Structure 1
Amino acid sequence: MKQSNLLFMSAAMMLASCGGTKDAGQNGTLIERSDIKIEGKRMTPEALWAMGRIGSVAVSPDEKQIAYSVAYYSVPENKSNNELFVMNADGSSNRQITRDSWQESQPVWIKDGKKIAFLCNESGSSQVWEMNPDGTERKQLTRYEGDIEGFAFSPDGKKLLFIAQVKTVQSTADKHPDLPKATGIIVTDLMYKHWDEWVTTAPHPFVADFDGNGISNVQDILDGEPYESPMKPWGGIEQLAWSPASDKVAYTCRKKTGLAYAVSTNSDIYIYDLATGKTENITEENKGYDTNPQYSPDGKYIAWQSMERDGYEADLNRLFVMNLATGEKRFVSRAFESNVDAFLWNKDSQSIYFIGVWHGETQIYNIGLADNDSLNRLTDGMHDYASLALCGDKLIAKRHSMSMGDEIYAVNNTRNGNAFAEAEQLTFENKQIYDQLEMGKVEARWMTTTDGKQMLTWVIYPPQFDPNKKYPTLLFCEGGPQSPVSQFWSYRWNFQIMAANDYIIVAPNRRGLPGFGVEWNEAISGDYGGQCMKDYFTAIDEMAKEPFVDKDRLGCVGASFGGFSVYWLAGHHDKRFKAFIAHDGIFNMEMQYLETEEKWFANWDMGGAYWEKDNATAQRTFANSPHLFVDKWDTPILCIHGEKDFRILANQAMAAFDAAVMRGVPAELLIYPDENHWVLKPQNGVLWQRTFFEWLDKWLKPAKQ
């Protein structure tokens, strides 16, 4: 008997609401969950982990229905579960169509909208299944020998494109079959580790015939090749695309291995012809990232995202379009001096919608290709959009902010005169939780930096903020290093839970972040200890002038580059701060240069190797390594790290902790043997929050009398 999803979620999901239909509890279409009252209307770790997290969204062919997935987490069981929902295009009649312990995800409408295809692990591995839009008549469509990680049916419905791992590295047992229990890994070249895994496989794109019931004639497009498509660690089905005629597949691939792979970001867009088996590289002349191809609906064009420079993973992400008949290529997003984060062809093939960040907000834009690549901004407001789909005269998109996680919205696909496009919220997945919470005010402030530039800084205030009181205040240091401090919602670095613990949060868009022009974004490369650090001081010093900020109770927190920032500031802050927290940060730059797996990142950001004595940029970088300034550490510090983090190894946090203790500085170390650069397991996430606030409260809040 299948495990009851109600039982699965009863302990940890009791706060979460499903779908948001008013009559859900009456008609029984959604899982009923008991209510729990949130004491004091303040955000808690348990409330965060009780929230449903909306994933993939798919519009039916007739544009009358929307299918989507939601992930739920159980803290007691320390695991997650994915369920599928369907609603009308206006948000009405929202109903849950799966109720079991299997992982169901990536819904796609097939067979003219009569069926929904999805990934499910019910058979023991992740395979493609189908069912009716009401959840009935489930049927397994694939029985591939491994896990299927993503899929796309051809436009004519006769073929299936899917992603699966293939073995690319000979194992120790392969070399020494008489030593089956030996655990040693023999390494002969880079990249032997990536993100959180020892690399033994690569994802490949497969094409198979589909007769409506199953697949046959499975063909590996990269048969015999050791390359990745899509590319690790983030790539998915968005890096592959069917032609409208169902006769070609465009795919993203960096056809390099070993050291060449480790030092280069030069990926290309290839077009594979199913009839001939021939492959054409259409971006060979570009030396940076080329990713995420999409054919225009009329089949005359193909668009993709493109970075220009090899080795620079945070280069300007441009939108390119190629005329397939003439071969002409155009940089169509030239008027937008920031990254194109995702895009979607309009139905008439004459314009493209995309999302991109500008001044700390990710909005929706349209480029008119027939009108000299005219740029039109559609949306406005203190929020970020993510993902796009067309539905009649609407765009279906996910939207979040610092005060609310992802929900699905319908956005008008054109502006009404000078007014921005109207948006209507369709899902209310976590309304039951938000209704019990009081969120802190989020405010945008522009500050003048030490070099006379204007810097946007987000300030988040505690709920029931009283300007006549004095509050402990936290400087938030962003990671990336070139990730925007936009209106992001995080289930760990969540500003509202920090505010709920009576902290003011100061989150600057310091030098080295997108959304403020190319020059601002690139100012951090080779200058980790330079202007970006001065920008941090500007943000906290400006806020410390406010009468409601207790300048004697300032803290500093951050992860990844933000963790590096904390370690660096600990040796340079001139007693500004009374507590530090660094998560997954770089402590020793020389070791990081050799330890990290993506060498292109270290080469570009650090300016070269530390042994290049004549390289002024590299020498400046390594001279600013935080470990060189430990003699100036004098402030309590909490170091957090995951041992499965191969981007920044856990020994960085261990070394920082050891240095602090040996210096006589109060310190604490939180190590996760089973986490990577993130903290993904529910109980580890709750532990992270509790440890985070226990540490801050200990040093930034006066002892209770």
Structure 2
Amino acid sequence: MNRIFASLAFLVVVGFQSCTNTTEKPETNTPAPIGPKDIILTSDLMTPEVLWSMGRIGETALSPDKKTILFGLTYYDLEQNKGNSEFYTIPAEGGAMVRLTSTTSGEYNPRWRPDGKKIGFMSAESGSMQLWEMNQDGTGRIKISEVEGGINGFCYAPDQSKIAYIADVKTNQTVADIYPDLPKSSGRVMNDLMYRHWDHWVDSYSHVFVADYNGETLLNAKDVLANEPYETPLAPFGGMEQITWTPDSKGVVYTCRKKTGKEYSFSTNSDIYLYEIATGKTKNLTEGMMGYDVAPVISPDGRFMAWESMERDGFEADKVRLYVLELKSRMRTNYTLKFDQDAHGLAWSDDSKSVYFISNWHALDQIYKLEMASNSIRKITEGVHDYTSVIPAGDRLIGTKMSMSMPTEIFSINESDGSQTQLTFVNKPIFDQLALGKVEERWVETTDHKQMLTWVIYPPHFDPSKKYPTLLYCQGGPQSTVSQFWSYRWNFQMMAANGYIIVAPNRRGLPGFGKEWNEQISGDYGGQNMKDYLSAIDAVAKEPYVNADKLGAVGASYGGFSVYWLAGNHNKRFKAFIAHDGMFNLESQYLETEEMWFVDWDLGGNFWDKGNKIAQNSYANSPHKFIEKWDTPIMVVHSELDYRIVASQGMQAFNAAVIKGIPAEYLYFPDENHWVLKPQNGVLWQRRFYNWLDKWLK
């Protein structure tokens, strides 16, 4: 057995099997498709290997008759160091899961054909990602598209006569284009900003195409953004939720930020456009609206368009408003004017009179409903959880939800009383064998006498008569709520299983607690939010079961910045730090990152404008300015493909610690971005994480 698997805390008993009948297959040289395994644990404590053995529910789609839920389910294999997504169905009223596919190439982007007779999906079975179809039971697979370079997403026209798909289009000249006699040159020539984004160099843009569809193949494909150097959906995270059809199949509505270079880099001003197929003309439906305008959804009767809208250009964490446009009159209405929360994941009711959406309040993501006639908003669900999507399904709603104690599962929701019924139990066989830590909600008083929600997670088999090492979790974003999320890296139950109490405060600068709380952090890095962190850990450290001499602080991104800042300002509270992909030198960060709008807004501007008091305060709080006060062991994690916060930030921090004689460790990934996504890298991350903490806190 490979050494990397020597510490497995579980035993694979049966191996691959489906959720229906298992059939014996002859041995071949081709590995079996990665899928669920029967797992027997040798301990009731979670390990990295157990975490990576869990199935992960992906995108869901409801059949046109609203009777069947189609969804993707991904499993990972450590030895192969990759994952595989397969399709399953389950009755909307509840019942057994049925596995539809079992391939080594995987299936993605599940879509029911409008007539309900076929399922469309993407697969790389032919060598590139193409559109395929199959029968409702998974039989009869046929390839529909043959797009050079492959596609990245698609959706059917409601009348089934056409298909819209997205594909990358080369628009930038390469060195080989300029100098054909230098085809092997690796050089790049740049004359403007946004030459790289997130984790890749920008050589192409995603465009939306419209093609005729005859039930067998795609014909007469047309690039909606022909010769335009713009992208749809928005990079790096936008998907097909940013593109939709009009109900009459005569138009495609898409999200786009029609800017390039420096202008693009400093702006969040995206708009929603309507492309009319018959005329080839494009109209800007959100012209004059200056922030992010994304994710359009058209009402079933074709009268209205709802979308997610931010007000201010350059502020990526602005309030997400629910806007509705009456398409004929072009009248726009902000239905969340008096609703001090964000609205995400919009979905129309069948009668076109209401919009369902997800919103966070006090670190819980719930399902809400807007009634347009009365301009009223009602919360439908209650509970300690995060809903991540909602689909109207006749007399019920279908939603996906998770919590700090449960990965994503599919639920049915009774709209009238808010009751929720779990439909999938993907990881129940594993969780039946695990002991989980208690998750407790606390409200801590801050230094300015406000109340701050703080999650406290206790180790499994917690004994209040003992003393436990305790971790302060510093959230990234920075404007990202410490809600009931389940993470496959920053997993609170994993931390607890290693014998730690976790303190996870919703410090200043997070949504879900009103506009003022969310926006306070901009221009105040190193200010009140740092005091909030210390208020949380100081309050919990008073408990008799907390070993106040064994405190650590951990975090990623802005959480990594927080750790670096605390390392120079903690007054010897902590005995160990871990910073992942954190900002260490804010002056370098301003000139190294790709999305300039973020640093320009949140730091208040550039560092050479000496008359800008807000900006100068931000740079005065750069963690590298406090190196002389560093005195505590620190582990630094960073990845080469992180272009949001580049790897040199982590190298600077690690080098500084070593030069000062402080115990330090640098975990570097040459092939990861801001996140660690490859299975073996993920397990390595977990092992070194706890190796470092155990060394200094136990």
One fold, TM greater than 0.5?
Answer: yes
Residue from 81, 86, 94 that aligns with 1:83: 86
TM-score by length of 2: 0.96
1:89 is displaced (CA, Å) by 1.5
Residue from 312, 318, 329 that aligns with 2:332: 329
What's 1:195 paired with? 198
* CA distance 1:18–1:284, shift in 2 (3 Å): farther
Paired with 2:120 and 2:11, the residues of 1 have a C-alpha distance of: 27
Paired with 1:150 and 1:41, the residues of 2 have a C-alpha distance of: 40
Paired with 1:272 and 1:583, the residues of 2 have a C-alpha distance of: 43
| Residues 629-676 of structure 1, C-alpha deviations (whole Å, 9 max, x = no match) | 000000000000010000000000111000001111100000000000
Residue from 647, 650, 657 that aligns with 1:650: 647
| Residues 513-553 of structure 1, C-alpha deviations (whole Å, 9 max, x = no match) | 00000000000001011000000000000000000000000
1:350 is displaced (CA, Å) by 0.6
What's 1:398 paired with? 400
Paired with 1:378 and 1:17, the residues of 2 have a C-alpha distance of: 41
1:93 is displaced (CA, Å) by 3.2
Residue from 595, 598, 619 that aligns with 2:595: 598
Moved more, 458-467 or 170-179: 170-179
What's 2:70 paired with? 67
Paired with 1:240 and 1:44, the residues of 2 have a C-alpha distance of: 40
Question: Tell me, what secondary structure is at the counterpart of 2:172?
Answer: coil
* CA distance 1:33–1:190, shift in 2 (3 Å): closer
Residue from 499, 503, 509 that aligns with 1:502: 499
1:316 is displaced (CA, Å) by 0.3
Q: Give matches, 1:90-239, under 5 Å.
A: 90-239=93-242
* CA distance 1:657–1:173, shift in 2 (3 Å): same
| Residues 228-283 of structure 1, C-alpha deviations (whole Å, 9 max, x = no match) | 11110011111011000000111111000010000111110111111111111121
* CA distance 1:16–1:47, shift in 2 (3 Å): farther
Q: Give matches, 1:470-481, under 5 Å.
A: 470-481=467-478
Q: Does 1:555 align with 2:552?
A: yes
1:65 is displaced (CA, Å) by 1.0
**Contact between 2:481 and 2:512, CA under 8 Å: does it hold in 1?**
yes
Amino acid at match of 1:455: M
TM-score by length of 1: 0.95
What's 2:58 paired with? 55
Paired with 1:232 and 1:18, the residues of 2 have a C-alpha distance of: 36
1:24 is displaced (CA, Å) by 5.5
**Contact between 1:16 and 1:33, CA under 8 Å: does it hold in 2?**
no
1:396 is displaced (CA, Å) by 1.0
**Contact between 1:242 and 1:248, CA under 8 Å: does it hold in 2?**
yes
Paired with 1:16 and 1:205, the residues of 2 have a C-alpha distance of: 44
Amino acid at match of 2:519: E
Question: Tell me, what secondary structure is at the counterpart of 2:601?
Answer: helix
Residue from 373, 376, 380 that aligns with 1:374: 376
| Residues 158-215 of structure 1, C-alpha deviations (whole Å, 9 max, x = no match) | 0000110101211111112212221111111111010000110110010011111111
What's 2:284 paired with? 281
What's 2:481 paired with? 484
Paired with 2:234 and 2:397, the residues of 1 have a C-alpha distance of: 28
Paired with 1:18 and 1:318, the residues of 2 have a C-alpha distance of: 45
* CA distance 1:543–1:26, shift in 2 (3 Å): farther
Paired with 2:36 and 2:558, the residues of 1 have a C-alpha distance of: 40
Residue from 399, 408, 419 that aligns with 1:422: 419
Q: Give matches, 1:678-689, under 5 Å.
A: 678-689=675-686
Moved more, 570-579 or 68-77: 68-77
Moved more, 209-218 or 689-698: 209-218
Q: Does 1:546 align with 2:543?
A: yes
**Contact between 1:17 and 1:432, CA under 8 Å: does it hold in 2?**
no
1:20 is displaced (CA, Å) by 10
Q: Give matches, 1:422-441, under 5 Å.
A: 422-441=419-438
* CA distance 1:330–1:33, shift in 2 (3 Å): closer
1:336 is displaced (CA, Å) by 2.5
Q: Does 1:530 align with 2:543?
A: no
Question: Tell me, what secondary structure is at the counterpart of 1:35?
Answer: strand
Residue from 564, 578, 585 that aligns with 1:581: 578
What's 1:6 paired with? none
Structure 1 runs not aligned, ≥5 long: 1-9
Paired with 2:528 and 2:521, the residues of 1 have a C-alpha distance of: 8
1:324 is displaced (CA, Å) by 1.2
Amino acid at match of 1:551: A
Paired with 1:13 and 1:615, the residues of 2 have a C-alpha distance of: 60
Question: Tell me, what secondary structure is at the counterpart of 1:474?
Answer: strand
Paired with 2:69 and 2:574, the residues of 1 have a C-alpha distance of: 49
Paired with 1:334 and 1:139, the residues of 2 have a C-alpha distance of: 48
| Residues 318-349 of structure 1, C-alpha deviations (whole Å, 9 max, x = no match) | 01001112111000122321211211011111
Paired with 1:507 and 1:312, the residues of 2 have a C-alpha distance of: 25
Percent of aligned pairs with the same amino acid: 57
Paired with 1:175 and 1:653, the residues of 2 have a C-alpha distance of: 36
What's 2:624 paired with? 627
Q: Does 1:608 align with 2:610?
A: no
| Residues 347-384 of structure 1, C-alpha deviations (whole Å, 9 max, x = no match) | 1111100001100100000010011x101000011100
Paired with 1:348 and 1:101, the residues of 2 have a C-alpha distance of: 41
What's 1:659 paired with? 656
Paired with 1:646 and 1:231, the residues of 2 have a C-alpha distance of: 17
| Residues 124-158 of structure 1, C-alpha deviations (whole Å, 9 max, x = no match) | 11111010111110011111112211111000000
* CA distance 1:687–1:27, shift in 2 (3 Å): closer
* CA distance 1:696–1:31, shift in 2 (3 Å): closer
Question: Tell me, what secondary structure is at the counterpart of 1:40?
Answer: coil
1:33 is displaced (CA, Å) by 5.7
What's 1:407 paired with? 409
Paired with 1:93 and 1:608, the residues of 2 have a C-alpha distance of: 56
What's 1:298 paired with? 301
Paired with 2:15 and 2:94, the residues of 1 have a C-alpha distance of: 15
Question: Tell me, what secondary structure is at the counterpart of 1:41?
Answer: coil
Residue from 512, 516, 520 that aligns with 1:515: 512
* CA distance 1:422–1:76, shift in 2 (3 Å): same
Question: Tell me, what secondary structure is at the counterpart of 2:194?
Answer: coil
**Contact between 1:439 and 1:463, CA under 8 Å: does it hold in 2?**
yes
**Contact between 1:206 and 1:221, CA under 8 Å: does it hold in 2?**
yes
Paired with 1:533 and 1:11, the residues of 2 have a C-alpha distance of: 38
Paired with 1:498 and 1:491, the residues of 2 have a C-alpha distance of: 11
What's 1:690 paired with? 687
**Contact between 1:477 and 1:559, CA under 8 Å: does it hold in 2?**
yes
Q: Does 1:270 align with 2:273?
A: yes
Paired with 2:58 and 2:171, the residues of 1 have a C-alpha distance of: 30
Paired with 1:496 and 1:384, the residues of 2 have a C-alpha distance of: 16
| Residues 603-635 of structure 1, C-alpha deviations (whole Å, 9 max, x = no match) | 000000000000000000000000010000000
Amino acid at match of 1:415: S
